[in-house]
Structure 1
């Protein structure tokens, strides 16, 4: 977890006991919604919204911009708050922790999505793939209007 404020051990110890505040980056447009395929656990191999932990003292919008840069290689203009995502199925599948994601609309202001070590494959989808993290798929299908 290079570049993160906690070691992996501290991260697991803390977030195995308390909810973890995260942001989710929802970028959509005429080509659909932008997802990346996870190259790491949890949810290895599944499509997902780029997202991550909010650092202590970091605003939610700054976290959205940081996550978009780290996971997609793009700069974004952060838009509206779209809602929140809880992850009970991840917890039931044995993931240690209880992330709660605050989802924000975002628009790419510069760069092209290139992915990262966390998810190198990216794609635009007009329909949410069946192998998307379940809670995110439910959220996107319910709340985010994906252009068709």
Structure 2
């Protein structure tokens, strides 16, 4: 797993990502109980359910970013994950934020019990998407409903 400390100050982050797209990873975990979402406790998007995710740091491998984000936001150790697709976030740009593009990863093996971590006030399994959900992530999960959201339950924790 990567051992990166947060490399940018808030001002540096805003300055850089006001000029270039921001690469993120999104963590998709499924079980017979549904898909795991967390409730944002911080801005942006406070109060919305979303896929746990975060910025890929300079020089960080994508799988290492998935492991770091899952450990920080869910308290789990990802053993295996596979890319599902990408999510563009025009709502961020439209609201004067940044312009992220997320690569969603299907976590197929992990250890630990998921729970809300940094930036989240709750974590819950959903078999139907909640109304108060990040728009682009909801669209992504709907477009991948066969095998990703409803019906397929490959993700199981390793004990």
Segments of structure 2 that go 5 or more residues without pairing to the other structure are 152-159
2:85 aligned residue: 83
2:157 aligned residue: none
Residue 55 of structure 1 and its aligned partner are, at CA, apart by 0.7
For residues 82-141 of structure 1, give each alpha carbon's deviation from its aligned partner in whole angstroms, at most 9, with x where no partner exists: 0000001222133x2100000010135221112123013000001111111000000001
2:57 aligned residue: 55
Query: Pick from 2, 8, 13: which aligns with 1:11?
Result: 13
Native 8 Å contact 1:114 1:120 kept in 2: no
1:146 paired with 2:144, answer no
Segments of structure 1 that go 5 or more residues without pairing to the other structure are none
User: How many residues are aligned here?
Assistant: 145
C-alpha separation between the residues in 1 aligned to 2:121 and 2:106? 21
CA RMSD for the aligned pairs?
1.3
TM-score (norm. length: structure 1)? 0.92
Residue 9 of structure 1 and its aligned partner are, at CA, apart by 0.6
Native 8 Å contact 2:81 2:109 kept in 1: no
C-alpha separation between the residues in 2 aligned to 1:135 and 1:92? 13
C-alpha separation between the residues in 1 aligned to 2:47 and 2:109? 24
TM-score (norm. length: structure 2)? 0.86
